[in-house]
Amino acid sequence: MSTEEPPPEVPSQPRRRGFRTGRLEAFSDGVFAIAITLLVLDIGVSSNAGQDLLHAIGSLWPSYLAYVASFSTIGAAWLAHNAITEYLDRADAAFVRGPRAPGAAGHRRPVSGSPRSTMKPGSTT
């Protein structure tokens, strides 16, 4: 007869399905950061601005206005995304993939693919 007791049974926990949201949040934050960074690439002063650099920068006010509007739009989408993911404990594969068909309920539009213009009205370049 053995004096050893059998190990106590560990109650089996139900397996949690889904993915943790930390990586999803980090990835989406990176996408938003890249989208915001790409906005500034359209703003540039011509190389022949020379002595009148302040005037050349000032003449780009439509580009700065478009940048602020686009930055605000992407920032609002980022805040909404954070508000949604704040309440998530886990995400399933369907949520991570998301609906891909345009017009599907809950269709997420790509932030970095949204058209925007920083050109002056009537300008062709």
pTM: 0.57
Tens of pLDDT, residues 6-29: 666 655 665 666 777 888 888 889
pLDDT of residue 69: 94
Q: What is the DSSP string of 37-72?
A: HHHGGG----TT-GGGHHHHHHTTHHHHHHHHHHHH
Angle at which helices 22-39 and 61-85 pack, to 10 degrees? 170
pLDDT of residue 24: 83
Q: Tell me the pLDDT band of 34, cut-offs 50, 70 and 90.
A: very high
Tens of pLDDT, residues 79-120: 998 888 888 877 777 776 766 555 444 445 555 444 444 445
**How many whole angstroms from its chain centre is CA 79?**
9
